């Protein structure tokens, strides 16, 4: 069996892939704990896949020596991955016609954000990965109670007001 020796650049790429997987899994843990359809495995794979696509594309032979080509490749990766992952996220969005509500938007946004973090890991944007991951987790953990409070107050406000023009009381002899 031949010895496999990795270069410093290859070790760096592996670290970026592992970081992307870890970030995705951390966000996925939150989703699993809340019983959502995407969890540790799904979001770990989303982030890993986005990072892998980005790393492989920017490491094509001669790419680093041609900044214009590298710039176009990075733009294409960001656009392609985030557009494509939007379709995965759309698969978890459900519309309930009975009560005119939509479910799964936060899960879809989480899938999209996880792909973005995977790309950031591939590009080694460490401060932005830390900030983006922290803010994502903060939103998932802390914004739900705030959202529920706003919904409760909003329902209370709406129940005190007419919901449609015809619900507004008009004088018996018609509008003046």
Average pLDDT over residues 149-172: 65
Greater pLDDT, 77 or 173: 77
The pLDDT assigned to 58 comes to 86
Crossing angle of helices 40-58 and 8-33, in 10° steps, is 150
Average pLDDT over residues 109-137: 96
Query: C-alpha distances in angstroms, 82 versus 49, 111, 156?
Result: 11, 10, 38
The pLDDT assigned to 160 comes to 63
What is the token pair recorded at 51? Answer: 């990072």
Q: Does the pLDDT at position 173 exceed 60? A: no
């Amino acid at each position: 069996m031949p010895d496999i020796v990795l270069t410093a650049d290859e070790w760096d790429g592996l670290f970026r892939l592992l970081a992307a997987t870890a970030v995705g899994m951390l966000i996925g843990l939150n989703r699993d704990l809340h019983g959502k359809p995407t969890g540790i495995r799904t979001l770990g794979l989303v982030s890993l896949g986005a990072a892998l696509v980005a790393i492989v594309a920017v490491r094509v032979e001669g790419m680093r020596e041609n900044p214009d080509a590298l710039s176009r490749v990075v733009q294409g990766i960001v656009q392609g991955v985030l557009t494509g992952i939007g379709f995965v996220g759309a698969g978890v969005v459900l519309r309930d016609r009975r009560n005119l509500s939509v479910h799964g938007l936060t899960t879809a946004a989480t899938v999209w954000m996880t792909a973005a973090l995977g790309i950031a890991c591939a590009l080694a944007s460490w401060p932005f990965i830390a900030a983006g991951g922290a803010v994502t987790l903060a939103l998932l953990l802390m914004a739900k109670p705030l959202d529920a409070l706003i919904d409760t107050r909003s329902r209370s406000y709406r129940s005190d007001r007419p919901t449609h023009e015809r619900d507004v009381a008009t004088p018996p002899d018609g509008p003046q």
